[in-house]
C-alpha cells in the first residue's frame, strides 16, 4: 500500500480566516494510504493537520502545525513543543518535509485563544467548518475521486456521520472511481466554493456576511437576515382549487424556498418592536335599507330571477316593498322627506326634526400586514471590517432593487427576506429566540444609508492603521443603516400556537 502526503503549503491551496479582526492564513499537511492504486484513499489512514502560516525569524514566513483533526471529528490544538515546522515543497522535495518542533521548551499554544475557540464551534460560520471544507477541497484536487467519495473517506476517518459537519457520501469507494471531471479554478476562500455548490447568486461571493467580523464566534444574540427568491402567494395555473363548482382560495404556504444571496448576521439593536393590528370599521344599516336588502336577497336566492320575466317580477316586488313602507302609519312623511332630500342633495329629514336610526356598528374588515424597522450603526475597526460593511450594504441594495427581463418588457420581483432572532449564538450556532416573535417572509420596502451618522464627514486615510497598505482607503468612520420590512402575508390565529407553546410565536 502506497503512502501519499499532500503538503498544501502553497498559495493556491491556502485559505484565510478573520478572528477578532486579524486575518489568519492556514494550510494543511494531509497524509493517507492508497490501498487500490493511485487516487484511492484508505479512510483509516487519513490524517489531517492544520498548518498556520506565521512570521518566522529574520523576517521569514514559517509554516507551523497548529491543530490535528482527531477521530471524533474535533480539533486538538497543538502546543509549541508538539507542533513541528513544515517545509514547503521544493525541487528536491516535491512533497516538502517535516522539520523539528517549534520550541521544545514551550507549552504555549501555536494558536491564540480566540482561534482555538473558533476551532470548537460547530456552526457553518466558524474556523472549524472552513478548515474541514478546505481540507476536503484539497483532497479532491489531489486525487481522482469524486467530491462525494472524498466526503465519505473524510467522514469515515473522522467519525462524522449524517447530521454532522458534513453530508454522508452518496457514492461508494469501491470499485475504483470514474475519471474525475475537469478541476475547478482554485479559490482562496472556502466561502466561494460553498456558495457556488449551493447554487446561490453569483453577485454575493461570500456565503456569510457579518458585523462585527467576530460576531458569531461569541455567545450572544443576533439578527439573521437571509435573502430568498419570491414565491407567488397564489398559483393561477393550478385549477384544482376549483372543484365540483365549489370555489376556494388556496394560498402558497411555502413562500421562500431558494436563497438568492449571502446570509447576513447583525447585532441586536435597541427599538426592536412588534405591532399587531386588524381592520375594523364603522358601518350603518337603517331600517329602509334592511327592507330593500331583504327583497334583494330574495331575488338572488331565486334562480328564476335571472330571466327577463323574472326581472319584471323583481322590479314589481321592489315597488310593492316601497308602497308597503310608505303606507305604514307615521312613516309616510319621514320616507318622503328622506327620498326627496336625496333627490336634491339636502337633509329634509333632519329639518323635520327626526333622524333615521342608522344601526351603527363596528365591523371587522380584514387583516393587516405587520412592518418591522431596524436601525444599525456600523463602525469599522479594521480594513476587512470596512469592506464587509460596504458589502453588506451593497448586497441589501442590490437584492431589494427591481429587475427586468432581457427585453425590458416586464419587471422582475426583488428578493424577499427571512428574518430570525437568534438566541445565544456562537458555539452551537444558536436557536430561534423563544421569547421574541417570529417573522414571516418580508419585503424590504425601504433602505436608508447615512454616511455621516456622527454629524460630520470623516474617513480613514491611507496613513491610518485601518487602511494601511490598502488600496481602498477612504472608508467612512461610521455608517448608519435603516431597514424597513413588511411581511408578505398576514398572521392567522392557527399560526400563533397554543398559550403553553414554549415560543412567542408570531
pLDDT of residue 367: 92
Going by pLDDT thresholds of 50, 70 and 90, the confidence category of residue 424 is confident
Q: Which domain holds residue 351?
A: 285-359
Give yes or no for a contact between 475 and 390, defined as CB atoms under 8 angstroms apart.
Answer: yes
Going by pLDDT thresholds of 50, 70 and 90, the confidence category of residue 317 is low
* Residue 465 located in a structural domain: yes
DSSP 303-366: GGGSSHHHHHHHHHHHHHHHHHHHTSTTTHHHHHHHHHHHHHT--HHHHTT-------EEEEEE
* Residue 504 located in a structural domain: no
17 and 164 assigned to the same domain: yes
435 and 472 assigned to the same domain: yes
At 303, list the grid cell: 334562480
pLDDT of residue 456: 92
Mean pLDDT of the chain: 74
Running DSSP on this structure, what letter comes out for residue 163? Answer: T
Question: Which range has the top average pLDDT, 301-305, 347-351, 358-362, 459-463?
Answer: 358-362
| Helices 127-142 & 113-120 angle (0-180, nearest 10) | 70
124-165 pLDDT, tens digit per residue, is 778 888 888 777 777 777 776 776 777 777 776 665 543 333
Going by pLDDT thresholds of 50, 70 and 90, the confidence category of residue 25 is confident
344 and 488 assigned to the same domain: no
Going by pLDDT thresholds of 50, 70 and 90, the confidence category of residue 307 is low
Going by pLDDT thresholds of 50, 70 and 90, the confidence category of residue 23 is confident
At 410, list the grid cell: 416586464
At which of 330, 359, 388 does a domain end? 359
431 and 304 assigned to the same domain: no
168-208 pLDDT, tens digit per residue, is 333 333 333 344 444 333 323 333 333 333 333 444 456 78
Kindly report whether the global pTM for this prediction surpasses the value 0.85: no
Mean pLDDT, range 96-114, rounded to an integer = 86
pLDDT of residue 438: 92
Running DSSP on this structure, what letter comes out for residue 150? Answer: H
Q: Beta 208-210 vs 263-267: how paired, if at all? A: parallel
Residue 248 has pLDDT above 70, yes or no: no
Residue 58 has pLDDT above 80, yes or no: no
At which of 338, 359, 380 does a domain end? 359
Please provide residue 349's backbone torsions phi and psi, each rounded to the nearest 5 degrees: -65, -45
270 and 300 assigned to the same domain: no
Task: Name the strand (E) or helix (H) holding 148.
Answer: helix 147-157
* Residue 132 located in a structural domain: yes
Running DSSP on this structure, what letter comes out for residue 105? Answer: T
181 and 318 assigned to the same domain: no
Residue 229 has pLDDT above 70, yes or no: yes
245 and 345 assigned to the same domain: no
Going by pLDDT thresholds of 50, 70 and 90, the confidence category of residue 399 is very high
Mean pLDDT, range 34-44, rounded to an integer = 66
Amino acid at each position: 500500500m502506497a503512502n501519499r502526503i499532500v503538503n498544501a503549503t502553497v498559495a493556491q491551496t491556502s485559505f484565510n480566516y478573520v478572528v477578532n479582526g486579524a486575518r489568519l492564513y492556514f494550510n494543511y499537511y494531509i497524509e493517507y494510504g492508497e490501498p487500490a492504486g493511485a487516487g484511492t484513499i484508505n479512510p483509516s489512514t487519513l490524517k489531517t493537520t492544520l498548518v498556520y502560516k506565521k512570521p518566522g525569524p529574520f523576517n521569514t514566513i514559517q509554516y507551523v502545525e497548529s491543530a490535528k483533526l482527531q477521530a471524533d471529528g474535533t480539533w486538538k490544538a497543538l502546543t509549541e513543543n508538539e507542533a513541528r515546522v513544515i517545509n514547503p515543497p521544493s525541487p528536491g522535495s516535491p512533497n516538502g518535509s517535516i522539520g523539528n518542533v517549534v520550541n521544545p521548551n514551550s507549552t504555549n499554544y501555536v494558536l491564540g485563544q480566540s482561534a482555538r475557540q473558533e476551532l470548537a464551534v460547530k456552526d457553518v460560520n466558524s474556523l472549524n467548518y472552513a478548515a474541514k471544507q478546505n481540507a476536503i477541497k484539497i483532497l479532491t484536487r489531489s486525487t481522482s475521486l469524486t467530491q462525494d467519495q472524498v466526503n465519505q473517506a473524510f467522514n469515515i476517518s473522522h467519525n462524522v456521520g449524517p447530521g454532522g459537519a458534513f453530508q454522508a457520501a452518496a457514492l461508494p469507494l469501491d470499485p475504483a472511481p470514474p475519471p474525475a471531471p475537469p478541476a475547478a479554478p482554485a479559490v482562496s476562500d472556502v466561502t466561494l466554493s460553498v456558495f457556488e455548490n449551493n447554487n446561490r447568486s453569483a453577485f454575493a461571493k461570500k456565503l456569510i456576511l457579518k458585523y462585527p467580523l467576530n460576531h458569531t464566534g461569541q455567545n450572544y444574540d443576533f439578527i439573521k437576515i437571509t435573502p430568498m427568491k419570491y414565491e407567488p402567494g397564489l398559483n393561477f395555473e393550478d385549477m384544482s382549487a376549483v372543484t365540483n363548482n365549489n370555489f376556494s382560495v388556496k394560498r402558497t404556504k411555502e413562500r421562500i424556498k431558494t436563497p438568492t444571496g449571502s446570509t447576513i448576521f447583525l447585532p441586536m439593536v435597541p427599538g426592536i418592536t412588534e405591532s399587531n393590528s386588524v381592520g375594523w370599521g364603522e358601518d350603518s344599516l337603517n331600517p329602509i335599507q334592511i327592507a330593500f336588502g331583504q327583497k334583494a336577497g330574495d331575488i338572488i336566492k331565486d334562480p328564476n330571477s335571472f330571466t327577463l320575466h323574472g326581472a319584471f317580477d323583481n322590479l314589481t316586488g321592489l315597488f310593492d316593498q316601497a308602497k308597503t313602507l310608505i303606507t305604514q302609519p307615521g312613516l309616510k312623511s319621514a320616507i318622503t322627506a328622506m327620498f326627496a332630500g336625496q333627490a336634491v342633495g339636502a337633509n329634509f329629514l333632519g329639518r323635520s326634526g327626526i333622524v333615521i336610526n342608522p344601526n351603527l356598528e363596528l365591523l371587522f374588515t380584514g387583516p393587516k400586514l405587520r412592518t418591522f424597522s431596524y436601525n444599525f450603526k456600523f463602525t469599522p475597526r479594521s480594513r476587512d471590517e470596512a469592506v464587509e460593511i460596504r458589502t453588506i450594504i451593497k448586497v441589501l441594495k442590490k437584492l431589494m432593487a427591481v429587475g427586468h427581463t432581457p427585453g425590458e418588457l416586464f419587471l422582475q420581483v426583488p428578493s424577499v427576506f427571512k428574518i430570525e432572532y437568534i438566541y445565544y449564538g456562537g458555539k452551537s450556532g444558536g436557536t430561534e429566540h423563544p421569547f421574541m416573535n417570529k417573522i414571516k417572509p418580508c419585503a424590504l420596502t425601504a433602505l436608508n444609508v447615512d454616511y455621516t451618522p456622527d454629524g460630520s464627514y470623516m474617513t480613514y486615510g491611507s496613513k491610518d492603521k485601518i487602511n494601511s497598505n490598502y488600496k481602498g482607503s477612504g472608508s467612512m468612520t461610521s455608517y448608519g443603516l435603516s431597514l424597513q420590512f413588511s411581511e408578505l402575508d398576514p398572521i392567522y390565529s392557527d399560526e400563533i400556537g397554543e398559550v403553553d407553546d414554549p415560543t412567542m410565536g408570531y
